[in-house]
Amino acid sequence: MTVNTPIVNGTSYATVNAYSADSYAKAVEFYAKLLELSVQTDNISAAAKNETLLANAHIAIRVVLEENAAKQQEVDNQIKYLTSIAKTNDWRSHVNQSLVFNTTDIASLQDAFKQLDYPNQAYPSDLLPLQLYTIDPLGNIIGVTATKNAVSTKANKPVAVDAHGVSLAATADQTATVSKNHSFTDLSYLVKTSNAYPSLPKDTIPLAEKKAVAVMTSGGDAQGMNPAVRAIVRSALFKGCRPFVVMEGYEGLVKGGPEYIKEFSWEDVRGWSAEGGTNIGTARCMEFRERAGRLLGAQHLIEAGVDALIVCGGDGSLTGADLFRSEWPSLIKELLDNSRISQEQYTRYQHLNICGTVGSIDNDMSTTDATIGAYSALDRICTAIDYVEATANSHSRAFVVEVMGRNCGWLALLAGIATSADYIFIPEKPATSSEWQDQMCDIVAKHRARGKRTTIVIVAEGAISVDLTPISTADVHKVLVDRLGLDTRITTLGHVQRGGTAVAYDRMLATLQGVEAVNAVLDSTPDTPSPLIAINENKIVRKPLVESVKLTKAVAAAIQAKDFKKAMSLRDTEFVEHLNNFMAINSADHNEPKLATDKRLKIAIVNVGAPAGGINSAVYSMATYCMSQGHKPYGIYNGWSGLARHESVRSLDWKEMIGWQSRGGSELGTNRATPEEADIGMIAYYFQKYQFDGLIIVGGFEAFTSLHQLEKARESFPAFRIPMVLIPATLSNNVPGTEYSLGCDTSLNALMEYCDVVKQSAASTRGRAFVVDTQGGNSGYLATCASLCVGAAASYVPEEGIHLDQLQQDIETLGEAFKRSEGRNGFGKVILKSTNASKAMNANDLSKIITAEAKGEFDAKPAVPGHIQQGGIPSPIDRTRATRFAVRAVDFIEQQQAALEVTRAGDEDYQSENLPLANTASVLGIKGSHVVFTGIRRLYDFETEVDKRMPKVIHWAQTRTIADHLVGRKRV
């Protein structure tokens, strides 16, 4: 890529080289679409067949074809590499130069990037970008900026420049924009929206041409099914489709008629996010297992005019759905031959698109990390065990708790981790009758001998021994009484596990999967395999439904065949990881350490920043895992200031930490002081005194800053030349390098429950809205996710601020909503406002403005949950993820020892420019579908807005658009 001198009327141009005919054609199309350039045939000689000049009034791009297979391979590798690091690294640090153009409407170009499906990066954030970058088909980094130059942070008059400040556009007083594309958040560009509430697409599609999308829930009910149905119905309406619901599952499909297959409206699913169970009913249907029943189902769907079916259920329900689709051609042919449908109906409904979302509290579906309802059921289990453990402690009792899980031990396993249970029984890992009795008694006896007053044993309902003999709670009770003489009680939780409303995670999962399910059925073709909407780590993905169900059934088959090794191998890697973690932290220092003496380390643990749910779980897990490995865990109490002032270092003891796994706050104590503020020299002195071999920091942005300061100080202080890792823990979820921080789930649940309560209060008073003030600093994550969970009418976040035009539009939308309520019950509204969304208006001011502008039609009241948002007892998600992160962090410390061993001994100077050495100080995080370690230096220098205490890339930006879609909010 070269930058040339001006050619026409003061306008500059760039030349880009293509090395294959295919990339040449793609490059011409790329620049024509992105920058709205046209081919200038008059400026290219007839002989120059391998050149194309594209230009408008301000920009000219010359694309030159030079066939070269070797260079094309380099380009392909470059594009593949840059695309792979799009979410983790700043592209500008990986290329020598980039081509950057100026625009006066960067929001329009952001939408163009997304609509054209180009990989992209936005700085400082996706929500309010000043610079946008993408990759052209030739491997070049192409950018647009609203600033004077590529490194400025202040918008200015438009001048096109490259990354080094070389002018590429016309004179500085030009006012034309590069693109006319609309903003990504401007819903009117995606589909024309009405001015009324809800802001749905204008109804321009003839009724006969509208797609009809039906949803049904089947099998056992699960918390989160109602939010899924709500999302599917409203997404279908937004996309110009007719939404239907099939009442009572497959039974309703077989019975048919308007009583069982109903067309739904926007208001029919109002408030469903906060309701448990499934409001459209579910039932197991024997008739549908026979062809005659499926024939009736096909006839009734055609009579209702349904084109696509979304099924929310377990593996049995989804198996039936895929069989239904595979038989569809023969079913409708038989219906035509028997004159049960017309030739016109036969022609119209040639194909049935089916999509699956998994609603199952057992979390027994392969290829997905979580099923709808699983974490809600786990929450009920953990709450119940926390309760019974209190009474167990009072009487020094043992409790045997039975949980659901016929063929899957996920609930029992994660409940065991989250509550520090003494022993668990799961179908995937059975033992002989004598083995499990000996193992359980050995572990319980060791725990009791070391001073533990309680004993919790969790039994999955499908627990078996190796000969497939069921293991009941009565069997376990008898062993504990007869062999250990413990006062033992049995608690069977039963259908309590299915009860109550969905936790925040399940509301979000169900909503996002519902939206994606509608997209999937509309994208599907007759040749597309039926998709299953799954989640891997933090990413919603589509998987082949047939393969997922096949793998799930293979687990049950392997268990029945007594091939338990195969059954375990068929479970996802996270399940196996959780099981290994449970066994490791459960053994603590009760058994011989796994590592040889010369491999054992001294590892320091410190909490930095504000308290967050899961911090104690992380400390407990990493300390007990250290003990099982043979390492010596040390707690630094009261953060860096505690260490610098009081030498607050103590070795961690297992007995003293009993109960930490389920406690909120920070037992080690925490504050916001960084090493430089506390006295980094004294900290280095104590690190040297105790000869620490590794450091694990648990905390938020102050912890992130602390890791940066310690890594930077390695040149001066050899004591810091040890592996260091940060486990992000903050309700703000604003730590660069991760999409999930410990504590944000606990906080989100606390805020969601608070909003549910105030929404109920609002519904009890006609024409009442509440403005809820949310924490989160400069991050709008908490407000955005809570908005999605509770169906807030609007949310205001720091990344966007509060624009008066948008506020006025939201007030008008609220007024329209209250007018349309027509006296219906439960019509309360909630508006969420991040504290830092506006410096001029707090929640009280905003509520007064809304009330004044409403002109008596409705009123608004402020609600400030304050530190309630930090939560009390940490959620099961934060507890179990804390354990997973803790074990990964200790493993990281072990693996990185060799890299720093020589420099720490002082025999060799530390090379600060050595990137592998710098990466021994890393942040552990979730990015997309992976758990990754990212070096603090790269994160701090390239991916962080330090002044704003925020990452540059906002991973949750699209969630805001979805939240607005589903409440009918009109964006200005």
Between CA 371 and CA 375 the distance in angstroms is: 8
- The stretches of 680-833 forming alpha helices (DSSP H) are 680-690, 701-712, 744-764, 781-790, 804-820
pLDDT for the residue numbered 184: 33
Sheet arrangement for strand 794-796: 794-796, 829-834, 768-774, 859-863
Between CA 406 and CA 401 the distance in angstroms is: 15
Q: At what angle do helices 374-395 and 504-523 cross, to 10 degrees?
A: 160
Q: Are strands 768-774 and 649-651 parallel, antiparallel or unpaired?
A: unpaired
Instruction: Assign 753 a pLDDT band (cuts: 50, 70, 90).
Output: very high
pLDDT for the residue numbered 395: 95
Give domain limits for the chain.
2-145, 210-370+504-544, 376-498, 596-617+624-742+874-951, 747-870
775 assigned ligand-binding residue: yes
Between CA 38 and CA 1 the distance in angstroms is: 20
Is residue 3 a contact partner of residue 162, using CB atoms and an 8 Å limit? yes
- Check residue 503 and report its DSSP letter: P
**Mean pLDDT for the stretch of residues 542-558:** 90
Per-residue pLDDT reduced to its tens digit, 170-210: 222 333 333 333 333 333 344 456 777 888 877 777 887 88
Q: Distances from the Cα of 749 to the Cαs of 503, 510, 571, 755, in angstroms?
A: 7, 15, 29, 10
Tokens of 754: 């608070």
866 assigned ligand-binding residue: no
Residue 918 has pLDDT above 50, yes or no: yes
Residue owning tokens 């709500």 = 230
514 assigned ligand-binding residue: no
Instruction: Assign 900 a pLDDT band (cuts: 50, 70, 90).
Output: confident
Residue owning tokens 């024409």 = 767
- The stretches of 1-49 forming alpha helices (DSSP H) are 21-34
Percent composition of the chain: helix, strand, coil (DSSP 3-state, to 5): 45, 20, 35
397 assigned ligand-binding residue: yes
**Each residue of 305-339: b (16+ CB within 10 Å) or e?**
bbbbbbbbbbbbbbbbbbbbbebbeebbebbeeee
Phi-psi region of 155 (alpha: psi -120 to 50; beta: other; left: phi over 0): beta
The three state secondary structure string of 662-675 is HCCCCCCCCCCCCH
State how far Cα 349 lies from the chain centre: 37
**Mean pLDDT for the stretch of residues 87-103:** 80
The CATH-assigned architecture of domain 747-870 is 3-Layer(aba) Sandwich (3.40)
Residue 96 has pLDDT above 80, yes or no: no
CATH superfamily, with its number, for domain 376-498: Phosphofructokinase domain (3.40.50.460)
Residue 677 has pLDDT above 80, yes or no: yes
Of 775, 728, 958, the closest CA to residue 120 belongs to: 958
φ/ψ of residue 756, rounded to 5: -60, -40
681 assigned ligand-binding residue: no
φ/ψ of residue 165, rounded to 5: 90, 10
164 assigned ligand-binding residue: no
Q: Are strands 724-728 and 632-636 parallel, antiparallel or unpaired?
A: unpaired
Of 624, 714, 637, 713, the closest CA to residue 671 belongs to: 637
- Check residue 167 and report its DSSP letter: B
Per-residue pLDDT reduced to its tens digit, 512-532: 999 999 999 999 888 888 999
Q: Could you check whether 2-145 and 210-370+504-544 share the same CATH topology? A: no
pLDDT for the residue numbered 208: 79
867 assigned ligand-binding residue: yes
Sign of the C-alpha dihedral, residues 686, 688, 690, 692?
positive
The three-class DSSP label of residue 530 is: coil
- Check residue 193 and report its DSSP letter: B
Between CA 310 and CA 515 the distance in angstroms is: 11
pLDDT for the residue numbered 181: 32
- The stretches of 896-950 forming alpha helices (DSSP H) are 897-905, 915-918, 936-942
Q: Distances from the Cα of 136 to the Cαs of 88, 115, 143, 210, 855, in angstroms?
A: 19, 15, 10, 37, 52
Tokens of 324: 């239904």
542 assigned ligand-binding residue: no
Between CA 883 and CA 889 the distance in angstroms is: 10
Is residue 931 a contact partner of residue 924, using CB atoms and an 8 Å limit? yes
**Mean pLDDT for the stretch of residues 523-546:** 90
pLDDT for the residue numbered 190: 44
Between CA 161 and CA 150 the distance in angstroms is: 7
Between CA 79 and CA 76 the distance in angstroms is: 5
- Compute how many other C-beta atoms are within 10 angstroms of the C-beta atom of residue 638: 18
- Compute how many other C-beta atoms are within 10 angstroms of the C-beta atom of residue 646: 10
Single out the catalytic residue among 126, 136, 162, 362.
362
Q: How many angstroms separate the first and last alpha carbons of the chain?
A: 39
Between CA 303 and CA 258 the distance in angstroms is: 10
pLDDT for the residue numbered 282: 94
Across-strand partners of 470? 464
Is residue 170 a contact partner of residue 11, using CB atoms and an 8 Å limit? yes
Q: Are strands 212-217 and 308-313 parallel, antiparallel or unpaired?
A: parallel
**Mean pLDDT for the stretch of residues 20-49:** 77
Is residue 1 a contact partner of residue 27, using CB atoms and an 8 Å limit? no
Phi-psi region of 240 (alpha: psi -120 to 50; beta: other; left: phi over 0): left
CATH class of 210-370+504-544: alpha beta
Between CA 686 and CA 692 the distance in angstroms is: 9
869 assigned ligand-binding residue: yes
Q: Distances from the Cα of 340 to the Cαs of 204, 334, 349, 429, 835, in angstroms?
A: 32, 9, 14, 52, 61
- Compute how many other C-beta atoms are within 10 angstroms of the C-beta atom of residue 903: 20
Residue owning tokens 């926390």 = 386
734 assigned ligand-binding residue: yes
Between CA 575 and CA 557 the distance in angstroms is: 18
Tokens of 559: 């268990």
**Mean pLDDT for the stretch of residues 588-601:** 92
Per-residue pLDDT reduced to its tens digit, 319-339: 899 899 999 999 999 999 999
Residue owning tokens 């009795």 = 437
**Mean pLDDT for the stretch of residues 876-896:** 97
The three state secondary structure string of 731-752 is CCCCCCCCCCCECHHHHHHHHH
Between CA 592 and CA 627 the distance in angstroms is: 10
Across-strand partners of 313? 358
Between CA 826 and CA 269 the distance in angstroms is: 12
**Mean pLDDT for the stretch of residues 631-639:** 97
Q: Distances from the Cα of 547 to the Cαs of 367, 528, 543, in angstroms?
A: 9, 14, 8
The CATH-assigned architecture of domain 2-145 is Roll (3.10)
- Check residue 605 and report its DSSP letter: E
Between CA 99 and CA 140 the distance in angstroms is: 8
949 assigned ligand-binding residue: yes
Q: Residue 593: is the preceding peptide bond cis (ω within 30°)?
A: no
Of 906, 903, 929, the closest CA to residue 917 belongs to: 903
Is residue 921 a contact partner of residue 77, using CB atoms and an 8 Å limit? no
362 noted as active-site residue: yes
Sign of the C-alpha dihedral, residues 583, 586, 588, 592?
negative
Contacts within 8 Å (CB) and 24+ apart, 72-75: 72/19, 72/20, 72/23, 74/139, 75/19, 75/23, 75/138, 75/139
Is residue 473 a contact partner of residue 489, using CB atoms and an 8 Å limit? no
The three-class DSSP label of residue 407 is: coil
Tokens of 854: 């409403």
589 CB burial (10 A radius; 0-12, 13-18, 19+) = middle
Residue owning tokens 């063929």 = 407
Per-residue pLDDT reduced to its tens digit, 283-307: 889 999 999 999 999 999 999 999 9
Per-residue pLDDT reduced to its tens digit, 340-380: 999 999 999 999 999 999 999 999 998 899 999 999 999 99
Between CA 415 and CA 420 the distance in angstroms is: 8
Higher pLDDT, 310 or 155: 310
72 assigned ligand-binding residue: no
pLDDT for the residue numbered 129: 79
Of 611, 612, 607, 644, the closest CA to residue 622 belongs to: 607
Per-residue pLDDT reduced to its tens digit, 456-508: 999 999 999 999 999 999 999 999 999 999 999 999 999 999 999 999 999 99
The three-class DSSP label of residue 934 is: strand
Q: What DSSP letter does each residue of 422-440 carry, written as one string?
A: SEEE-TTS---HHHHHHHH
CATH number listed for the domain at residues 596-617+624-742+874-951: 3.40.50.450
Is residue 816 a contact partner of residue 858, using CB atoms and an 8 Å limit? no
